[in-house]
Amino acid sequence: MTLVSPLGDSVNHQTKKPQGHSLWHDARLRLQRNKLAMFGLLFLICLVVIALLTPWIAPYNYDSQNLALGASPPSSKHWFGTDTLGRDQLTRVLFGSRISLMVGFIATSVALIIGVLWGTIAGFSGGKVDAIMMRIVDILYALPFAIFIILLTVIFGRSLLLLFLAIGAVEWMTMARIMRGQTLAIKRQEYVEAALTMGLSRWQIIRRYLIPNALGPIIVYTTLTIPSVILLESFLSFLGLGIQPPQSSWGSLISAGGETMEEYPWLLIFPGITLALTLFSLNFLGDGLRDALDPQSAKD
């Protein structure tokens, strides 16, 4: 993938094949011209590749302890230092990225898909359907989150799958509310009425008119959701749902590092930096996507 696509390339494309000239195609070209967003994307891709390869490239085993070593600062043998039990911090960050990225992306996708569909259907249908769907959201909102999670753990026991479900079950509600608000505004636009008189089905209108025009706030909220989900995971792990030591995640490493911050700062710094870089990349990419998907934003 090239970082900057030459302008001539897109011009040729236009004259050759008008069919491929859709919103998504244009968005890709525009995204490719946004260097910051491409940097973010590249960083995220590298991170995912490294996370996938971790079992083979990690310098140590994630649960091998060296109590004699204890907590040692970064060195040539242990780049990120070791924790109080003498476990290599780099290895733990690498293994942690597998959990954190998986939680971040899967739970957010679950929230995104349910939330967007729920909000769009409620907003577009209006009337009783809308009232019932949104009251369900209100009721779920009112349930205390921690009690809800503990109940889930009691009933189903702990598993990674349940972790995704629990997070998804919380995050989609805000998404649904945002999407419903957007839908209510967009469905009064004349172009949606024009689509109705053209005889498009409801599903076609939702897919081609409502969702593309509501993407801006949704993308921004998504990029905000991923980091909050990653941190939420550490809270859930603390409650006993999700992962347990010696497994690690960024959230759990950071909360553990926070406790020993004064004596062993490297235990907090390295997972902190990794998380921060990921969030930066996500925000750059999110902003880039939002601009790229809006044909009215500046042309280049």
Question: By CB under 8 A, what part of segment 267-296 binds other proteins?
Answer: 293-296
Minimum separation from the CB atom of position 19 to other proteins (A): 7
Judged by CB under 8 A, the residue of 68, 142, 147, 298 near other proteins is: 298
CB atoms < 10 A from the CB of 240, how many? 11
Closest C-alpha to 212, from 232, 239, 183? 183
The nearer residue to other proteins, 20 or 59, going by C-beta atoms, is 20
Residue 256's contacts (CB-CB under 8 Å, 6 or more residues apart) are 83, 267
Question: By CB under 8 A, what part of segment 9-48 binds other proteins?
Answer: 14, 18-19, 21-23, 26
Question: By CB under 8 A, what part of segment 89-118 binds other proteins?
Answer: none
The nearer residue to other proteins, 49 or 131, going by C-beta atoms, is 131
Percentage helix, strand, coil for the chain under 3-state DSSP, each rounded to 5: 75, 0, 25
Task: Determine the Cα–Cα distance for residues 269 and 80; give it in Å rounded to an integer.
Answer: 9
First to last CA, the chain: 19
The nearer residue to other proteins, 213 or 248, going by C-beta atoms, is 213
The nearer residue to other proteins, 68 or 298, going by C-beta atoms, is 298
Minimum separation from the CB atom of position 273 to other proteins (A): 36
Total of residues contacting other proteins (CB under 8 A): 28
The nearer residue to other proteins, 15 or 76, going by C-beta atoms, is 15
Minimum separation from the CB atom of position 18 to other proteins (A): 5
Question: By CB under 8 A, what part of segment 174-213 binds other proteins?
Answer: 189-191, 193-201, 208-209, 212-213
Structure tokens at 261: 């911050």
Minimum separation from the CB atom of position 176 to other proteins (A): 22
Residue 270's contacts (CB-CB under 8 Å, 6 or more residues apart) are 80, 81, 89, 90, 93
Closest C-alpha to 93, from 252, 217, 227? 252
Task: Determine the Cα–Cα distance for residues 188 and 186; give it in Å rounded to an integer.
Answer: 5
- State residue 88 phi and psi, 5-degree precision: -65, 125
Minimum separation from the CB atom of position 226 to other proteins (A): 24
Chain CA centroid to CA 46, Å: 16
Q: Does 126 bind other proteins (CB under 8 A)?
A: no
Minimum separation from the CB atom of position 183 to other proteins (A): 14
The nearer residue to other proteins, 131 or 161, going by C-beta atoms, is 131
Closest C-alpha to 111, from 56, 39, 49, 179? 179
Interface map 213-242 toward other proteins (x if CB under 8 A): x-----------------------------
Q: Which residues pair with 255 in a beta bridge?
A: none
Minimum separation from the CB atom of position 95 to other proteins (A): 41
Task: Determine the Cα–Cα distance for residues 12 and 22; give it in Å rounded to an integer.
Answer: 15
The nearer residue to other proteins, 138 or 259, going by C-beta atoms, is 138
The nearer residue to other proteins, 186 or 232, going by C-beta atoms, is 186
Task: Determine the Cα–Cα distance for residues 295 and 213; give it in Å rounded to an integer.
Answer: 11
Task: Determine the Cα–Cα distance for residues 89 and 287; give it in Å rounded to an integer.
Answer: 32
Binding site for other proteins (CB under 8 A): 14, 18-19, 21-23, 26, 189-191, 193-201, 208-209, 212-213, 293-296, 298
